[in-house]
């Protein structure tokens, strides 16, 4: 995963500017369970190992096909 950050903030005449970029790994795991012929439940976990901090994400999903 390649990311780039360009940030500029102004408050009461003061200006803060930051810029950074890097390449880091991320991992993801997704599983699904068929509830019925046209309905599936999913669970997805993702971890981004960024040099600044780590980010974890957990998502639950419901897929309906018609």
CA 62/CA 66 separation, integer angstroms: 13
Alpha-carbon torsion, ordered 18, 55, 60, 66, to 10 deg? 50
* Position 48 pLDDT exceeds 90: no
pTM, to two decimals: 0.61
What mean pLDDT is predicted for residues 52-59? 88
Mean pLDDT of the chain: 91
* CA dist., res. 66 & res. 39, Å (int): 9
**CA end-to-end distance (rounded Å), the chain:** 35
Instruction: Kindly tell me if the per-residue pLDDT of 52 is higher than 80.
Output: no
Buried b (16+ CB within 10 A) or exposed e, 45-57: eeebeeeeeeeee
């Amino acid at each position: 995963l390649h990311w780039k950050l360009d940030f500029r903030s102004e408050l009461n005449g003061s200006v803060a500017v930051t810029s950074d970029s890097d390449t880091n790994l991320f991992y993801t795991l997704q599983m699904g369970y068929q509830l019925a012929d046209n309905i599936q439940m999913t669970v997805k976990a993702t971890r981004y190992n960024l040099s600044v901090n780590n980010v974890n994400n957990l998502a639950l999903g419901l897929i309906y096909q018609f």
